[in-house]
Amino acid sequence: MPLFYFQHDLTWLTNTAVWLKGPIERGLNLVMDMFVANFSWAFGAISWLLSWPLTELQGMLQWLPWSVTLVAFTLVGFAAAGCRLAIFTAASLFYMVATGYWQESMNTLALVGVAAPLAAGVGFGMGVLGYRSGVARRVLIVCLDLMQTVPAFSYLVPLLLLFGFGPVVGLIASAIYACPPMVRNVMHGLASVPSALVESGEMSGATRWQSFWWVRVPAALPQIMVGVNQTIMATLSMVIIASVIGGFNDIGWEVLSTMRKAQFGQSLMSGMVIALMAMILDRISAGFASHVRSTVNTPTVSRSNALAASALLLLALFAASMLFPAMRQWPSEWRVYPAAQINDFLSYTVSRYGWVFAEIKQIVNFCILLPLKIGWLRLFDATGYTISPVNQAAYWVAVLCAMLLASFAWKGRGAVLVALVAAACFFGLTNIPWPVLFMVVGVAAWQAGGVGTAGFSLAGMSFILMTGLWGPAMLSLYLCAAAVALSFVVGGALGALAASNDRFSAFIRPVNDTLQTIPQFVYLIPVIFLFQVGDFSALIAIVAFSIVPMIRYTEHGIRSIDHEISEAAIGMGCSTLQKRFQIDLPIASPAIMLGLNQTIMYALSMLVIAALVGTRDLGQSVYIALTNADTGAALTTGFSIAIIGMVADRIIQAWAKKRQRQLGLQEIRSA
Amino acid sequence: MTYFLDDQIGSAKDRKVKLSCRNIWKCYGPMDSGIYQMRDTPERASAVAALRSSGCVPAAIDVSFDVHAGEIFVIMGLSGSGKSTVIRCLSRLVEPSYGEILFDGEDLLEASPKRLIEIRRRRMGMVFQSFGLLPHLTVLENVAFPLRVQGVDRQRRESRASEMIELVGLKGRECAFPAQLSGGQQQRVGIARSLAVEPELWFLDEPFSALDPLIRRQMQNEFLRLQTLLKKTIVFITHDFLEAIRLADRIAIMKDGQIIQIGSAAEIVLKPANDYVREFTRDVPLAHVLTVADVIEPYRGHLQATQSCGADMSLLDAMPSFAGNLEGFAVTNSSGAIVGEITASKVLTIFAESQERTR
């Protein structure tokens, strides 16, 4: 504790080793330059190879009359999941037509259409490799962790340098970002095919080839299709993010540019296109995936008839659209574009009720965000008050009382937790001297996962310290901690509610689905409009995006508690609250912790996107590096974010595993 | 005592050996191969114990037995006794660490991968406890799968598969998917599939253990019916001793990777090799186990009533002949000649001795 009071003289404790920042970044840049100089021909070739199908697909989608494309997608939607999806698909595509975003939408679709098969194909190959060889699997898992935690902005820079300016960069970035779920699902699917199935194939005398392609792959197909679905969604999300490099006139670019110009009506309308496209792609691919799972047999005759009928219908439409140009290209005078009206309405609402949002923002800022960021001590200093020593003493006495209470309720660890939170709020997270944080994290990691986890955590934190990113990293930590804490409390409560209330559960499930399918980008639009730029807006965007896994895992954890345990608790006369806090939550805690883990990951990935609304943390550093095309800075910052994520991940996973073993529960997979 | 009935017994032991399993070992984990040469001595027992404590898992220890053509050979043991490992060693789904497996005199452990695939394709069939049906194929396609693997054209393999489906009584469900069938029906598909290639050797790994008791009994009858039609050479795994005595010509009892006793049901019940086997057989109703061959005596010429019996008919089924002939009855063979007699005193003596031993 005394360290805090002396830190004015010991600035090296919070403002660290900048002397290492230079060499590492310069080194990385040097390597990059050499790479570009020597191998640019190879990357040029790849770029050419990939741009060919992209331009072809783009050309075709632009050439096809909108009516044909719309009906084709509607038919696909019907085949995937029946009437409701067909109607939804038709309505969504019509929205794109009517609002005049057809061209941009089709460009984005072309990007997805090339990137998703690429990611799925590469992912399948790597998954098979990982399944075949243990060494490859271990290497792959580390790579996958990096691919999923290093923010895309930071590898956009080297990709730009290697492949040159253009849509191919977005394509490759999407493939990198989107193939991990495919790899994971393929590895898991192939490995978990029941052994009796494989043995029955072998006993039928299948060769290795037959056994793999006729038995193992079909049996793993449901899991593989889950991977395909996740890959498509990740691709779309990334295609939108990658539009920051511009130049392809896609819908992501439209959103970004209108958002920068503060044209909320326009950005809301184009953001809607992204959300709709995400939902269509998700429902269609999920629909086909569940077909594979249920293996309901449709007679092949009627299927081929349906195909022929669809083809005829599309041909007829094509012919008709040659006669009626309106069916080919939506006339611009028919365009429904109420952006101006939306803007008017929004500014009216804000002028009328803006004070509500402002108040909320102020309350959260002063009660949660600022104390966490700079601490009560500084906060009062800044506003002109000083906290008298008596008051400071009173605060610590109160903290001591809370610690005592906590130690009764949750033993020693509870007291330590209270002390840490109290200290963080008093001094501010960003002012924590690094040795203290090293110690806290090191001990936590050692407790949860032993020496290996502790070593990994300390090494990772040393990297951040030595690259001179400690300051922004602490800002990230603070923002992330606030968002995760908020998600944890609110999401946990919602999840617990959903677990006990079927109607609420049925209500929240589609909400969760939607929140999870919408690309991260879109979250910023309403947030920035209601709360302007700043930490609070970032907080809201992060919470909105990262709360979903918390709700899901909590509900799942509580719902999957053995019925007999619940019945025993009721039989012993537990009240509802007693049951919830003394039975449900402790038993569900491993699942809840995995939800927390996912929430942290989601929060970190959103952090970088949230940099667009003006935070000043690592996310912003990545973004600045991107605009400066500075490979070294982009990569070190990206790795720092990845490290924060991976340290949190390792500690929580280790803890959850330990706890699950203690409780004798089956392992819950976090996909 | 069976010489009276030789023409009927068709004793399995007289037929030629189809499959011979010699000194098979299977150990998981690193170990010293010197142990394979050791005879069954206390030294070996302590060496195996040492292996276990060092983290090695000896799943099959010096397992030897012969299976004769047309015989139902049952391997019985509790979970973890190594029975599943042994049956997988026989087909080399699991690679044995040491030993020989002679199939019609050919050592399977020497077979090249190509030869092994050939043998599995044409001459072996296997039924699995958890069915092992391919979820993405229909019943018809599942049954036809072994033929498809061989490259048989669609029409021929499907007509063969239809025959098999009819044989197991599933006609009409050809187009269903496995998930749409009950457990018993799924296992019928598994049986049909394993028979599709007309194998000489038929392996069944706890085929009925996952089924309800009633269905299990029904399937056992079905299995016996099929065997009277097909006369395969069968290795059957079970953990259920009653199932073993119902189905088996001979039974091998396994414990901790070793075979403890091999014999007919009656031999095992009447002369258990050790306390472990005795414990198993304690609750077995003797009348189920004993066959006519176990209680028959030379005909002494004064018993009047006659009854035609096969040698492997269970005593329970022969019991009704005692009605009205409390002293005993004469036994005839299928051509009507008297071959011996069964007396109440002999039956009672065996029952009493057996009870005496288990007390």
What are residue B25's DSSP bridge partners?
A: B98
Question: Do residue B315 and residue B339 come from a single domain?
Answer: yes
Question: Do residue B153 and residue B90 come from a single domain?
Answer: no
Domain boundary among A293, A323, A353: A323
Q: Which of B93, B130, B134 sits opposite A219 (nearest CB)?
A: B134
**Sign of the alpha-carbon dihedral angle for A94, A96, A97, A103:** negative
pLDDT at B75: 95
Q: Which of A200, A221, A294 sits opposite B132 (nearest CB)?
A: A200
Domain assignment present for A433: no
Give the pLDDT mean for A90-111: 90
Domain that holds residue B51: 15-69+83-111+253-260+275-284
Domain assignment present for A428: no
Question: Do residue B62 and residue B153 come from a single domain?
Answer: no
Question: Do residue B133 and residue B97 come from a single domain?
Answer: no
Give the pLDDT mean for B197-205: 92
Identify which of B200, B20, B198 has the alpha carbon closest to the alpha carbon of residue B109: B20
- Average pLDDT value over all residues in chain A: 83
Q: Which of A74-78, A334-338, B19-23 has the lowest mean pLDDT?
A: A334-338
Q: Does A196 touch chain B (CB under 8 A)?
A: yes
- The enclosing domain of A29 has a CATH number of 1.10.3720.10
DSSP state for residue A668 in the 8-state scheme:
P
Which residue has better confidence, B329 or A119?
A119
- Chain A residues lying within 8 Å of B157, measured CB to CB: none
**pLDDT tens digits, B18-37:** 999 998 988 887 766 777 77
Domain assignment present for A355: no
**pLDDT tens digits, A468-507:** 788 888 888 888 888 998 999 999 999 999 988 889 988 9
Domain assignment present for B173: yes
Alpha carbons A572 and B231: distance in angstroms, whole number: 60
Best B134, B141, B181, B209 residue to mutate vs chain A (most A CBs within 10 Å): B134
Q: Does B88 touch chain A (CB under 8 A)?
A: yes
Domain assignment present for B299: yes
Domain that holds residue A531: 470-671
Alpha carbons A2 and B276: distance in angstroms, whole number: 71
Q: Which of A205, A218, A296 sits opposite B120 (nearest CB)?
A: A205
Q: Does B124 touch chain A (CB under 8 A)?
A: yes
Which residue has better confidence, A581 or B357?
A581
Q: Which residue of B has its CA nearest to A218?
A: B136
pLDDT at A251: 87
**pLDDT tens digits, A125-165:** 999 999 998 899 989 988 888 887 888 888 888 888 888 77
Q: Which of B119, B122, B128 sits opposite A199 (nearest CB)?
A: B128
Please give the full DSSP string across A360-384, using - where no structure is assigned.
HHHHHIIIIIHHHHHHHHHHHHHTT
Best A195, A198, A203 residue to mutate vs chain B (most B CBs within 10 Å): A203
Residues listed for chain A: 671
- The enclosing domain of B343 has a CATH number of 3.90.1280.20
Residue whose token pair is 């937790």 = A417
pLDDT at B12: 47
Q: Does B112 touch chain A (CB under 8 A)?
A: no
Alpha carbons A588 and A580: distance in angstroms, whole number: 10
Interface touch A219/B136, C-beta < 8 Å: yes
Domain boundary among A260, A289, A323: A323
Question: Do residue B353 and residue B244 come from a single domain?
Answer: no
Q: Which of B126, B133, B179 sits opposite A203 (nearest CB)?
A: B126
pLDDT at A492: 92
Question: Do residue B94 and residue B210 come from a single domain?
Answer: no
DSSP state for residue B34 in the 8-state scheme:
G
Residue A543 and residue A486 in contact, taking contact as beta carbons nearer than 8 Å: yes
Chain B neighbours among A 108-127 (CB < 8 Å)? Answer: none
Interface touch B93/A194, C-beta < 8 Å: no
- The enclosing domain of B219 has a CATH number of 3.40.50.300
Question: Do residue B296 and residue B333 come from a single domain?
Answer: yes
Domain assignment present for B74: no
Q: Which residue of A has its CA nearest to B202?
A: A203
Question: Do residue B149 and residue B101 come from a single domain?
Answer: no
Interface touch A205/B194, C-beta < 8 Å: no
Alpha carbons B139 and B133: distance in angstroms, whole number: 9
Interface touch B93/A218, C-beta < 8 Å: no
- Chain B residues lying within 8 Å of A289, measured CB to CB: none
pLDDT at A92: 93
User: In total, how many domains does chain A have?
Assistant: 2
Domain assignment present for A414: no
Residue A1 has pLDDT above 50, yes or no: no
pLDDT at A301: 54
Question: Do residue B142 and residue B153 come from a single domain?
Answer: yes
Residue A424 has pLDDT above 80, yes or no: no
Interface touch B136/A205, C-beta < 8 Å: no
How many other C-beta atoms can be found within 10 angstroms of the C-beta atom of residue A74? 21
- Chain B residues lying within 8 Å of A199, measured CB to CB: 88, 93, 126, 128, 132
User: In total, how many domains does chain B have?
Assistant: 3
Best B112, B128, B181 residue to mutate vs chain A (most A CBs within 10 Å): B128
How many other C-beta atoms can be found within 10 angstroms of the C-beta atom of residue B285? 12
Say which amino acid occupies A444.
Answer: A
Q: Does B175 touch chain A (CB under 8 A)?
A: yes
Q: Percentage of residues in chain A with pLDDT exceeding 90?
A: 13
pLDDT at A131: 92
Chain B neighbours among A 197-236 (CB < 8 Å)? Answer: 197, 199-207, 210, 214-215, 218-219, 221
Best A200, A295, A298 residue to mutate vs chain B (most B CBs within 10 Å): A200
Question: Do residue B122 and residue B242 come from a single domain?
Answer: yes
Question: Do residue B89 and residue B182 come from a single domain?
Answer: no
Question: Do residue B212 and residue B181 come from a single domain?
Answer: yes
Domain assignment present for A291: yes
Instruction: Write down the ipTM of this complex.
Output: 0.77
Domain assignment present for A27: yes
**pLDDT tens digits, B118-174:** 999 989 999 998 888 888 888 999 999 999 988 899 999 999 999 999 988 888 888
**pLDDT tens digits, A234-266:** 888 888 888 877 667 888 888 888 887 878 888
Give the pLDDT mean for B284-296: 81
Residue A648 and residue A473 in contact, taking contact as beta carbons nearer than 8 Å: no
Q: Does A577 touch chain B (CB under 8 A)?
A: no
- Chain A residues lying within 8 Å of B146, measured CB to CB: 204-205
- 3-class SS at A466? helix
Q: Percentage of residues in chain A with pLDDT exceeding 70?
A: 93
Q: Which of A110-124, A368-382, A631-645, B239-253 has the lowest mean pLDDT?
A: A368-382
Give the 3-state secondary structure of A439-459: HHHHHHHHHHHHHHHHHHHHH
Q: Which of A205, A214, A292 sits opposite B117 (nearest CB)?
A: A205
Identify which of A669, A670, A646 has the alpha carbon closest to the alpha carbon of residue A147: A646
Contacting residues for B277 by C-beta, under 8 A, at least 6 apart: B253, B260, B261, B268
Alpha carbons B270 and B280: distance in angstroms, whole number: 12
Alpha carbons A165 and B358: distance in angstroms, whole number: 88
Which residue has better confidence, B205 or A665?
B205
Question: How much of chain A is in helix, strand and coil states, percent to nearest 5?
Answer: 85, 0, 15
- Chain A residues lying within 8 Å of B193, measured CB to CB: 200, 204
Interface touch B138/A206, C-beta < 8 Å: no
